[in-house]
Amino acid sequence: MCRTSCQGYSEPNSGSDLASLSTRAVLDGDEWVINGQKIWTSSAKSAHWMFCLVRSEPDAPKHHGISFLLLSMKTEGLDVRPLKTMTGESFFNEVFFTDARVPKDQIVGQRGEGWAIANAILKHERDGLGDPDVTLSRLNALTDLMKEETVNGQRIMDNPIYRDRLMALQGEIMALRFNDLRLLSANIKKEQLPLATMIVKLQGTELRHKLEGLAIDVLGEHGILYEDSPHLRNEGTWQNDYMWFLGLIIGGGTNQIQKNIISERGLGMPREPRNK
Ligand SMILES: Cc1cc2nc3c(=O)[nH]c(=O)nc-3n(C[C@H](O)[C@H](O)[C@H](O)COP(=O)(O)OP(=O)(O)OC[C@H]3O[C@@H](n4cnc5c(N)ncnc54)[C@H](O)[C@@H]3O)c2cc1C
């Protein structure tokens, strides 16, 4: 049977500065007692499990006071409230914990090691966002669209301004695709290419958002239709993905934060001042 998990990291006051999270877990006998709130928890309504960051060591420096717990979404004291997004779906949720009790041994790693574990998982999440292969297939679909759509009898593909935008996008997508192949070769040779890895989420999500936006421009007045309009092209996937990828520019750590990571860890530039 398929089991799905959701990621309980973000809180109302802890997003980019995730290490400041305040959901508390206190050990009481053989159980952790959790109180606090998570937000933007994707798929929490349908998930069976949550992997969750909690503050278990309040006196330790903030990055060392966090633990990583696994908990069933059926845990008593856990309340999931869906949030509606601009796509019209309720994919996100708020999750409230009120004296929710979780067995002591459902900790991953040791107490206070949650930050390192969460970062390892986030790295995998970012690698999977903005996949260049999918973006390339969307580029092919956009190329077809530009051959089909016309203005005053002229194919959009024959309009030099739109064609120029398509070519510029194609160049950037091919660069990302070759970066991906470089990463694949490095992986096979067991080499590390940290900088090439770090740019994937930043570039991939922004390019995809730009691509879907170009398709909406190509569609003209049809581009602003949504949901159940009978005149929708391609079931509204261009509009939906345009909004969805705006979300992915934020999810998994915003692209401003990715730029900080690239400049500091990738390029060795000075670190930005941080709160202790
Ligand atoms: C599609 C999507 C799915 C998500 N899924 C999940 C999930 O499943 N689980 C989960 O826990 N969370 C999830 N999130 C939440 C996501 O991780 C946070 O939204 C994100 O980390 C940003 O936090 P925030 O919203 O609190 O924004 P803030 O941290 O409040 O940021 C606001 C703005 O300030 C900028 N900013 C903040 N700090 C800096 C800085 N130091 N330098 C430069 N700019 C800065 C940010 O880039 C942003 O533009 C999801 C979000 C989205 C959009």
Name the least confident of 25-39, 98-112, 186-200.
186-200
Classify residue 275: in a domain, yes or no. Answer: no
In the chain, the percentage of residues whose pLDDT exceeds 70 is: 99
Counting from 1 in the atom list of ligand 1, the atom nearest the Cα of 255 is: 47
Share of the chain above pLDDT 90, in %: 86
Is residue 149 located within the same domain as residue 260? yes
Residues 105 and 135 in one domain: no
- Dihedral through CA 175, CA 179, CA 184, CA 189, nearest 10? 130
Q: What is the pLDDT of residues 65-114, one digit of tens each?
A: 999 999 999 999 999 999 998 888 898 999 999 999 999 999 999 999 99
Pocket test for ligand 1, best of 250, 263, 269 (most atoms within 8 A of CB): 250
Whole-angstrom distance between the N-terminal and C-terminal Cα of the chain?
Answer: 44
CA of 251 to the centre of ligand 1 (A): 6
Residue 174 has, within 13 A of its CA and on its CB side, a CA count of 7
Residue 125 makes CB contacts below 8 A (sequence gap 6+) with 7, 252
Which residue out of 40, 41, 73, 126 has the highest number of ligand 1 atoms within 8 Å of its CB and is therefore the one to mutate? 40
Q: Are 208 and 130 in contact (CB under 8 A)?
A: yes
Show which of 84, 114, 144 is a domain's final residue.
114
Residue 88: predicted pLDDT? 84
In whole angstroms, what is the distance from residue 232 CA to residue 103 CA?
50
* pLDDT exceeds cutoff 70 at 275: no
> Which pairing describes strands 92-103 and 78-83: parallel, antiparallel, or unpaired?
antiparallel
CATH number at residue 195: 1.20.140.10
| CATH code of the domain covering residue 73 | 2.40.110.10
Average pLDDT (38-47) is 97
> pLDDT confidence of 19, banded at 50, 70, 90?
very high
Any domain includes 120: no
Query: Do 45 and 98 fall within a single domain?
Result: yes
Whether residue 133 lies inside any domain: the answer is yes
Task: Determine the structural domain holding residue 68 and report its residue range.
Answer: 5-114
The residue out of 114, 141, 170 marking a domain boundary is: 114
> Are residue 31 and residue 146 in the same domain, yes or no?
no
Q: Exactly one of 11, 94, 125, 235 is catalytic; which is it?
A: 125
| 198, 240 Cβ separation under 8 angstroms | no
Closest to 126 in 3D by CA, of 252, 220, 31, 227: 252
Whether 65 and 56 have beta carbons less than 8 Å apart is answered as yes
Mean pLDDT of the chain: 94
pLDDT at res. 276 = 57
For residues 68 and 168, state if they share a domain.
no
Banded model confidence at residue 245, pLDDT cuts 50, 70, 90? very high
Are 134 and 240 members of one domain? yes
| Domain boundary pick from 56, 83, 114 | 114
Q: Is any ligand 1 atom within 6 A of the Cβ of residue 260?
A: yes
Same domain, residue pair 145 and 232? yes
pLDDT at 149 over 80: yes
Task: Grade residue 25 by pLDDT with cuts at 50, 70 and 90.
Answer: very high
pLDDT of residue 154: 96
Q: Are 92 and 188 contained in the same domain?
A: no
Do 178 and 99 fall within a single domain? Answer: no
221 against 123, higher pLDDT: 221
In a domain, 273, yes or no: no
> Is 139 found in the same domain as 88?
no
In a domain, 272, yes or no: no
pLDDT of amino acid 43: 96
Q: How many domains does the chain have?
A: 2
**Shared-domain flag, residues 200 and 237:** yes
Give a yes or no: residue 214 inside a domain. Answer: yes
Per residue in 197-235, pLDDT tens? 999 999 999 999 999 999 999 999 999 998 888 889 999
Angle value at C-alpha 3, between 121 and 12, nearest 5 degrees: 50
Residues 27, 140 share a domain: no
125 is catalytic: yes
For 267, residues 6+ apart whose C-beta sits below 8 A from its C-beta are 195
Q: What is the largest CA-CA distance in the chain?
A: 76
The atom of ligand 1 lying closest to the CA of 250 is: 53
Q: Which of 150, 196, 147 is nearest to 176 (CA)?
A: 196
pLDDT band at 124 (very low <50, low <70, confident <90, very high): confident
Confirm if 217 and 223 have CB atoms less than 8 A apart: yes
User: Does ligand 1 have an atom closer than 6 angstroms to the CB of 37?
Assistant: no
